Structure 1
Amino acid sequence: VGGIGIMNIMLVSVTERTQEIGLRKAIGASPSDILMQFTIEAVLLSVMGGMVGTGIGMAGVAAVGALTEFEAGLSPTAIVLATGVSGGIGLIFGVLPARRAAQLDPIVALRTA
């Protein structure tokens, strides 16, 4: 579900920034430059979301440990794994919008208002 959200957000970002992409391509940015920009944005967005979610989860575990008699523990491996999976999802689902941005024709992109 998070991957679909990332993809939709990035597709909207590409659509909203069509003129910027056209301008960058017109002054010499290669398709790989555009691809890299949008892929990095998608990964950063998902990793930051994963970190926020992990923080909320850690707070929940601490609250359960403090308010109940259950033993609550946090595993550094689980935290790194959760953030890594989040980044991977951003990478996988961010490639399609990034490829779409990289394939834009600069002239058509600049004419789009």
Structure 2
Amino acid sequence: MTTFISKAIASSDSQVHGNTYYLIIMLVIFGLIFYFMILRPQQNRAKEHKKLINSISKGDEILTNGGLIGRVTKISETDYIIIALNDTLEVSIKRNFIAAVLPRGTIKSI
């Protein structure tokens, strides 16, 4: 009976070393999947949004994250932009809250 137990323990030692390498390989694979599926697309979206924000000029029609559509009337040196929602109402928003730049004439067509 003791020889059977010693053989079982001896066989489990060799599997532990094999599992360590397997675990390291699996962690590397999951890290690569995490990078290519989550981190890289998020970095690309952030880069595109920053380029969009920097390309805004006076007179552009924009859509905010809150759903407001307006025309840019003033761009301050700080992070704020003043947009005109209609002829009498102007709103000041942060640049980061701009979702999209709309084609000219969109406000009139709505």
Question: Which TM-score applies when normalising by structure 1?
Answer: 0.30
More helix per residue: 1
Question: Which TM-score applies when normalising by structure 2?
Answer: 0.31
Higher relative contact order, chain-length normalized (CA < 8 Å, sep 6+): 1
**Structure of higher CA gyration radius:** 2
